[in-house]
Amino acid sequence: MSFFIEMLLKLFFILSIIPFLLSEKLQKKYDMKINPQIAYTYFTGPKKVALIGEEFIEETSGMAVSRKNPSWIYVHNDSGGEPEVYILDTLGTFLGTIRLEGVENRDWEDLAIGPGPEEGKSYLYIGDIGDNFGKFEGLIIYRIPEPESLEKEMTVSPEIIKLIFPDGPKDTETLLVDPISGDLFILTKREAKNTLYKAAGDLLKDGHTVELEKVMQLPITLSVGGDVSADGSQVLIKNYWVVYYWERTEGETLEQTLSGKATLLPYEPEPQGEAIAFSPEGNTYFTLSEKKLRVNPVLYRYDRAVVDK
């Protein structure tokens, strides 16, 4: 039965993406905006940066742009991949690998950057948070400091933080870390309205198990990735078809920001686009797909629109 449900979900995805692919082709052909709800005044694009040719980077599910080295992009594969984070530059060139020692890639689904136990340091949060059939007792977050320098092959022993839901297992693919509070957020995927859960930053300690707090439902379904800008002022969440965007007012919690109305940003339809990330300055966001339907993944960038004065 599980196999049958998975096949139905894949069929639904393939059928549902056809209108978006057609609309994107029409838009390019006739130079018109198919979806009037999309705000092209915030960000423009896409710009095709590069075709990612490395065979070991073909199930990209998580992405984050380095806060220490803005020319680095961290990516990882999802379930069945190696327990490794790969480093690209912002032109799509492969630079190196960080291998997480003593752990496995059960179903890594998203990647975030934020504060951690040592003040002033920047940390990678790797979310082993996928659970297609709701069977895992808990989710796992692996936390490692950003590397100080670049080597072709690096190995690190991660902190391991376990998360459990207060109301039973959930499938999730979106991980957010608030750079202001240090709080961590998980967004579910399967429901008609995805549910946001929170773990307070001061509870995120190596070896600890944290029960997530249920925060609210969002009018989004099939969420697959997200990011918070380095200064905490902007938030992105995407599903397979749409990029949602919020601007945060000073003094707001992240929950308060996400309870407001989202703006829809430009997005290039991808075969299975699950990864999205801001540049450290917050004036660019990148997207990257898994390799699906024999289509190689393309790194796209979207730049802040220039407003004429």
pLDDT for 193-233, tens place per residue?
Answer: 999 999 999 999 999 999 999 999 999 999 999 999 999 99
∠ CA 215-290-57, nearest 5°, is 110
Average pLDDT, the chain: 89
Q: How far is CA 80 from CA 83, 196, 303, in A?
A: 9, 26, 33
Check residue 29 and give its pLDDT: 44
Residues 243-267, mean pLDDT to the nearest whole number: 96
Q: Whole-angstrom Cα distance, residue 41 to residue 150?
A: 37
Pairing of the two strands 153-156 and 94-100: parallel
Distance, CA of 174 to CA of 87 (rounded, Å): 20
Q: Are 236 and 278 in contact (CB under 8 A)?
A: yes
pTM for the full model? Answer: 0.88
Percent of the chain exceeding pLDDT 70 equals 87
Domain edges within the chain: 19-304
The whole-number pLDDT of residue 30 equals: 37
Q: How far apart are CA 82 and CA 105, in angstroms?
A: 6
pLDDT of residue 10: 54
* pLDDT value for 19: 45
- Cα distances from 14 to residues 17, 57, 241, 272, in angstroms, run 6, 22, 12, 9
Check: CATH 2.120.10 for 19-304?
yes
